[in-house]
Amino acid sequence: MCHINIFNTENMDEKNFTPEESLSIISKTIEETRKKIQDNGHIMILWGCLIFTVIFSQYMLELLGLHKKFDIVWTCILFPLGAIYTFFYTRRKTKKNNIPKTVLGITIEAMGWVFGLNVLVLATVFNNHIGNALAPVIMILLAMTIIVIGLSIKYKPLTIGGIILNLLAFGTFWVNPAYYGFSLMFGAIVGLIIPGILLNIAKKRGNV
Amino acid sequence: MQKKGEMFSDLDPILHSQLRLSIVSILMTVEETNFNFIKDATKAAAGNVSIQINKLQEAGYINVKKTFKNNYPNTAVSITEKGRNAFEEYVKNLQKYIHPK
């Protein structure tokens, strides 16, 4: 567990410190608290790999002629498992590391769940209405979520990844629907896996 | 010649203490936290943190809720509107000292 070692509490001198020192205490404390409560890219990498695996396996099942039998089961098992894991992982991490509630944390969590529920409803209830456009629409929703989170935590690779994913989603409308899966897989890599890995590296180096 | 303590007489004496200032700075960043987080973050002694939390509570700058979590005592701490305003005023006054017109 990291500590904000900004002053010597043994020699606590109540009033003999300058305004510059006061500002330094404030900025260091706020900066260190933010570092402490910020999540790593673990969940982003998990969801990127999950999307990649599901789409890739669907192509493989199609090649093997098992597409009709297994693809729905595969999707219906892996994504809910990912959601359950995410729920318990974040809950356990918050408890174990004694992470306090923040407005930003609550907003990011809510955005993730709202995105997931919207995708679930679109894919199950409105699948017939939306047809082939489902993949690019999901990508646009994901890109929006990633861009907003990237801007909120002021992390450029995430924002850039989200923008690339957004552009990729628009480009997907122009390609043959048979290749939409490739767009999704590429989107998962640029929008989630790469920024997630970079976020983990930056966190380890203490840059975020 | 003015003494250091008198020099910064415009600065809120409640906030012009290293540990109390750090506690309030933490609370400005989070929605709510607990005693252990503050103790770990400031690396201060539990008794000292407790004393400063009491002073901030008496001034009406923070809210303290004592409950039990999984049979362990839990002290939830959050900043009040008065505390938020006092902190913002303190920062404004600091800037006046650093960049006098």
CA dihedral sign of residues A131, A137, A139, A145: negative
Residue B4 included in any domain:
no
Poorest-confidence range of A95-104, A111-120, A133-142? A95-104
Q: Which residue has better confidence, B53 or A101?
A: B53
Residue B32 included in any domain:
yes
Residue A193 pLDDT grade (very low, low, confident, very high; cuts 50, 70, 90)? very high
**Domain extent at residue B86:** 15-98
Cβ contacts below 8 Å, chain A against chain B, sum to: 101
Residue B67 included in any domain:
yes
Nearest to B25 among A30, A99, A106 (CB): A30
Average pLDDT over residues B1-27: 76
Number of domains in chain B: 1
CB-CB contact of B33 with A29 (8 Å): no
Residue B7 included in any domain:
no
Look at B98 and A20 and tell me if their CB atoms are within 8 Å: yes
Residue B96, Cβ neighbours under 10 Å: how many? Answer: 13
Domain boundaries, chain A: 40-205
Average pLDDT over residues A14-30: 76
Average pLDDT over residues A59-85: 75
The two beta strands, B62-69 and B33-34, are unpaired
What CATH number did the domain enclosing B56 receive? Answer: 1.10.10.10
Q: Which two tokens stand for residue B48?
A: 């000292």
Residues of B with Cβ-Cβ distance to A37 under 8 angstroms: 29-30
- Residue A134 confidence (pLDDT) above 50: yes
